Amino acid sequence: MKEDISLDQRQSEVIDFLRFPLIVLVVYVHMLPFQQQPISSELKIYNAYVIISELISHHIGRIAVPAFFLFSGYFFFLKISSWNTKVYTDRLKNRYRTLLIPYISWSLIMIAAIVLKNYAFVSSGLPFNDGYQQVTQLSIYEMLWGMPINYPLWYVRDLIVMVVLTPLFYYFFRFLKFWGLLLLLCFYLSLFESGLPGLSSTAIFFFGAGAYFGLSKQNMLQLSLRYETVTLCLTIITLGIATYYTAMPQNEWWIRLFAISAASSLLAIGNKMLELNRLRKLVLLYAEAAFFIYVSHIIYILGWFKGALQKSLSFMPDIWLIIGYFLMPLTCISLIIMIYYIVKKFLPKTLIFVTGNRAN
């Protein structure tokens, strides 16, 4: 029993530790456009930049959001032994504070930032940009839900939908058990997408997988350690094949296989990283700002750094592409962490509100 308690505690510590590195990956994902760039084997510095950036932003970075869905589904159901209306409404009330309020708040902050920036530009004699055209021409539904306008919030939007649908997950796994997980796996690997905002196959499969492990009271860290060697080999193999097929139709299927195997080995990797004392102290020092980084980095901050990098490259050698690719997200994150602690000092209640109590 003591061993089980220790393992459960260790699992929580590993997941808490992983949240910040995964958010850093999210920022790197947004360093590149959504469209993949073909990889060339020709020995040039620019081609090396393409390989490195594609590998991190469009491949390794694809594990971040699935991991968050997995953790969310797991902890939602972990302490649930039976289902009733009270359990459901209590969970909804809690997620109302932690998901819906931050989602609406940061969508409105994004809209306000676009409007204020453009009016400042017009006052200086500059024209409106594309962002302002979106705000004036798109419907409220499109800005707050369909896109959303603060586009990293698509994860929160989908998570809200998953939470609303939790009764379906509960009864789905209650009757089908492990076979239900296999059905969701087949659905995910079919590459089918409904096109409905909030119902991505990534959210359905990984939140569902977390729900399955939570309902069956399985320790995911224990499973990850048990199959560590196999899943790590599969992760490396699928990552290599997916990278080979960059910007090709086969890429998405192999990326999804990579995401599954990487999610399986992620906790084992995090467990080893947690044992590195210097790294652990550094990560835990800034971990509380992880959600703030996630919701705010795309509100011009990362864009400004990317713009500065592009302008400077006109008279810089290609090697600065690689240096800038690694440096800009870290500089962006450092700036946001500074802003976070300034806001926490002077507007603590506001920060608690817009982060869903995560800064408390």
Query: 360 lies in a domain?
Result: no
Whole-number percent of the chain with pLDDT over 90: 81
Residue 124: helix, strand or coil by DSSP? coil
For residue 128, pLDDT over 90 is answered with: no
* CA–CA gap between residue 276 and residue 283 (Å, rounded): 11
**Hey, CA dihedral for 343, 349, 350, 354, is it positive or negative?**
positive
* Range(s) of the domain holding residue 74: 2-354
Average pLDDT (282-306) is 92
* CA–CA gap between residue 131 and residue 117 (Å, rounded): 10
Ranges 1-10, 225-234, 302-311, most confident: 225-234
User: Which pLDDT does position 360 carry in this prediction?
Assistant: 67
Query: 222 lies in a domain?
Result: yes
* CA–CA gap between residue 16 and residue 19 (Å, rounded): 6
Query: 359 lies in a domain?
Result: no
Quote the tokens at residue 354. Answer: 């817009």
User: Which pLDDT does position 2 carry in this prediction?
Assistant: 47
End-to-end CA distance of the chain: 32
For residue 3, pLDDT over 70 is answered with: no
Model pLDDT for residues 16-42, shown as the tens digit of each residue: 999 999 999 999 999 999 999 999 888
Model pLDDT for residues 62-112, shown as the tens digit of each residue: 999 999 999 999 999 999 989 999 999 999 999 999 999 999 999 999 999
* CA–CA gap between residue 111 and residue 208 (Å, rounded): 32
Of the given ranges (61-70, 92-101, 124-133, 304-313), which has the lowest mean pLDDT?
A: 124-133
Q: Report which of residues 127 and 3 the model is more confident about.
A: 127
**Which one-letter amino acid corresponds to residue 231?**
T
Place of tokens 């929160």: 156
Contacts of 75 (CB under 8 A, 6+ apart): 210, 214
Average pLDDT (138-163) is 95
User: Which pLDDT does position 310 carry in this prediction?
Assistant: 76
Query: 339 lies in a domain?
Result: yes
* CA–CA gap between residue 282 and residue 278 (Å, rounded): 6
User: Which pLDDT does position 317 carry in this prediction?
Assistant: 83
**Residue 283: exposure state from Cβ atoms within 10 A (0-12, 13-18, ≥19):** buried
* CA–CA gap between residue 209 and residue 102 (Å, rounded): 25
Average pLDDT (271-295) is 94
User: Which pLDDT does position 127 carry in this prediction?
Assistant: 72
Query: 7 lies in a domain?
Result: yes
User: Which pLDDT does position 39 carry in this prediction?
Assistant: 93
Query: 311 lies in a domain?
Result: yes
Average pLDDT (287-309) is 91
For residue 185, pLDDT over 70 is answered with: yes
Structurally, the chain folds into a number of domains equal to: 1
User: E strand or H helix at 176, and its extent?
Assistant: helix 166-176
Global pTM value:
0.95
Quote the tokens at residue 360. Answer: 């408390």
For residue 4, pLDDT over 60 is answered with: no
For residue 1, pLDDT over 50 is answered with: no
**Hey, CA dihedral for 102, 104, 108, 111, is it positive or negative?**
positive
Give the chain's mean pLDDT: 93
Q: Report which of residues 179 and 3 the model is more confident about.
A: 179
Model pLDDT for residues 248-265, shown as the tens digit of each residue: 999 999 999 999 999 999
DSSP 200: -
For residue 5, pLDDT over 70 is answered with: no
Contacts of 87 (CB under 8 A, 6+ apart): 80
Place of tokens 């947690």: 274
For residue 339, pLDDT over 80 is answered with: yes
